[in-house]
Amino acid sequence: MTKTDFKKIDKIVVNTGIGRLSQQAGFSDKILPELVKEFAMIVGQKPQSREAKKSISGFKSREGQIIGLRATLHGKRASDFLTRIVHVTLPRVRDFRGVDLKNVDQNGNLNLGLREHVVFSEIQPELSKVSFGLQVTVVPRGVKNRESAIVFYRELGVPFKKTNL
């Protein structure tokens, strides 16, 4: 991977939803700081907390309640994070057979979902008190369509599923 490849990455957005965890007792005192600490260890910067825009009784959420964390990575942080995901994290996922080509949308964005955050090498599973999943969106710069984005991601080393042709 060369430096010119990473100049084509506009940003990487990392999200996690913490809706169910917010129902537990002592959420803001004990669970939320632990979530923020582990999320920050993974992405390399402090995340922004996302609040509910309106109350929804079916989800037991109230307006203003923290329901997620988000971090947007640019530049070197984004390139380092993508390198760690491709070379370290994805091989650690159990039963990983490759990224599905359906994860690349029409604009060329790559969306990855990870069920557990403990697949990251920064997290020690035996010391982690909470469990949460992550959603990672890679937004390329200068990519016009889905096909050119897939070629670009292959050049970066993203392991796509093998298709039987």
Q: Residue range 118-133: average pLDDT?
A: 83
Q: Are 78 and 9 in contact (CB under 8 A)?
A: yes
Amino acid, res. 111: N
Q: What is the pLDDT of residue 21?
A: 77
Could you tell me the CATH number of the domain that includes residue 9? 3.30.1440.10
Residue 122 falls inside a structural domain: yes
**64, part of any domain:** yes
Q: Does the residue 163 lie in any domain?
A: no
Number of structural domains in the chain: 1
Q: What is the pLDDT of residue 6?
A: 44
Contact 9, 139 (CB under 8 A): yes
- Residue 50: pLDDT band with limits 50, 70, 90: confident
Q: Provide mean pLDDT across the span 35-53.
A: 89
Q: Which residue has the higher pLDDT, 23 or 7?
A: 23
- For 162, which DSSP code? P
- Note whether residue 65 is domain-resident: yes
The pLDDT, as a whole number, for residue 132 is 87
Triad 8, 68, 121: Cα angle to 5°: 60
- Report if residue 47 sits inside a domain: yes
Q: Which domain holds residue 26?
A: 3-156
Residue 112 lies in a domain: yes
For residue 151, pLDDT beyond 70 = yes
Domain-located, residue 89 = yes
Of the chain, the end-to-end C-alpha distance in Å amounts to 28
For residue 73, being part of any structural domain is answered with: yes
The span from the CA of 28 to the CA of 25, in Å, is 9
The pTM of the full predicted model, rounded to 2 decimals, is 0.83
